Amino acid sequence: MNGIGGILRVSLFITCYNDTLFPETGQAVVKVLERLGHTVDFPSKQTCCGQMHWNTGYQEEALPLLPRFIEQFKDSEVVVCPSTSCIAMMKDHYPLMAERSNDEGLKKAVAEILPRVWEFSQFLTQKLGIEDVGAYFPHRVTYHASCHGLRSLQLGDGPQRLLRAVRGLELVEIETLEQCCGFGGTFAIKNAEVSSAMLADKVRSVLNTRAEVVTGCDNSCLMHIGGSLHRQRTGVRPVHIAEILAGE
């Protein structure tokens, strides 16, 4: 039950915010991967992919984080990360960052490593070719497709297929699957009013599903949606997909 390609040594890129704010997501990723028979390591000097700085316009500040990432993961067999937006940052912008550095070695290293870097759900469905990870989660769940997962990584219905294979789980489609939740990193702070208006729409759609749990492949959107669900005392919880797949 290891999936296509036998037993892999997976290096976990946890991302700065999951490390600090959502350790339970990382723990769940470890649990799922080990349950599937793979080994997991955690390069200890990793910090951040640079997304916040790059996307906010602080590109010079983001640049040094690229060689740090390469240094930490260059020998990894595969790199797995439970955040769609961080993976999108790497896939969409690391080549350009390397280009800017004028460092031939870095350019080569980026080109070599990117095909081995996977978003968690995509790693399961595409790299391993697995949909049923043997999980049990007896709840009514709706799935939020984060924009980066949807448009940049083209996750398609991969996450939903994983969820449908979970025993006890009832998946309810949200009516506005392709609509942004309004997080957008520093956008939520810089344009708080508009972000709130977008969030209000998304929360309404979540509540319309009458799900107990809203899941997704990116804790940043879930933190934003969940923050409003908590403020309104809706009782609906945000749970990262890895934590559902770890359920047993």
For binding to another protein (CB under 8 A), which residues are involved? 14, 16, 18-27, 30, 42, 44-48, 50, 52-59, 61-62, 64-65, 68, 92, 147-148, 151-152, 178-180, 182-200, 223-224, 226-228, 230-231
**CA 143 – CA 93 distance, rounded (Å):** 27
Whose Cβ is closer to another protein: residue 1's or residue 192's?
192
Min dist CB 4 to another protein, Å, is: 27
Min dist CB 150 to another protein, Å, is: 8
DSSP 122-171: HIIIIIS--S----B--SEEEE---HIIIIIS--TTHHHHHHHTSBT-EE
Query: What tokens does 73 get?
Result: 């993961």
CA atoms within 13 A on the CB side of 23: 1
Whose Cβ is closer to another protein: residue 15's or residue 166's?
15
Query: What tokens does 107 get?
Result: 């350019």
Min dist CB 231 to another protein, Å, is: 5
Whose Cβ is closer to another protein: residue 145's or residue 166's?
145
- Decide: 185 and 51 in contact? Cβ < 8 Å: yes
- Decide: 185 and 148 in contact? Cβ < 8 Å: no
Min dist CB 72 to another protein, Å, is: 9
What is the gyration radius of the CA atoms in the chain, in angstroms?
18
Min dist CB 198 to another protein, Å, is: 5
- Decide: 192 and 185 in contact? Cβ < 8 Å: no
